[in-house]
Amino acid sequence: MQTDRWTWLALADAALDLSSIDPLELSVITASASGGNAFGQKEIQALWRHGPRAVSAYQSIGWFYAASSGQLSILHQFKGPCSVVVTEAAGGIDAIAQARRLIRQGRAAVLVGGTEAPLSPYALACQCGFNSAAVLRGTESL
């Protein structure tokens, strides 16, 4: 599978007996801070070292913050409402709240969870303030 580790962890944790549930009644809600940063870091390094042909075609989805929800819904054929909540550290709680709303609306089950911990130079740059480019160039102090 050509996705980031956070997606792999989400897929590995998914366990539900689907035999008696209509796929249209199954939903996926995950939480993310910014997406598959480790995968993105690897691809950015390949781009700078070897040029655009070295970048995987999976880059377009591999670092997309909704990759976990999409991969889970495809893998398990969850055809109800699926989404991702992007709210940093509180994301897991926000995803649970969204799942609760879906259950109250009548969904049979919602696969819900928080994903990722952005620990790479690329991820840290994404977390910097508005002038992160200047900080990374060393032209402005933190």
CA distance 23 to 93: 25
Instruction: pLDDT band for 142, please (50, 70, 90 cuts).
Output: very low
CATH code of the domain containing 83: 3.40.47.10
Domain span including residue 51: 23-117
The pLDDT value given to residue 49? 94
Q: Is residue 76 part of a domain?
A: yes
Q: Is residue 11 part of a domain?
A: no
Give helix then strand counts, H and E, for the chain. 7, 3
Q: How many domains does the chain have?
A: 1
In this predicted structure, the answer to whether residue 60 has a pLDDT above a threshold of 60 is: yes
Average pLDDT of the chain, as a whole number: 78
Q: Is residue 73 part of a domain?
A: yes
User: Whole-model pTM above 0.95?
Assistant: no
The pLDDT value given to residue 7? 61
User: Which residues, in sequence order, are bridge partners of residue 29?
Assistant: 83, 112
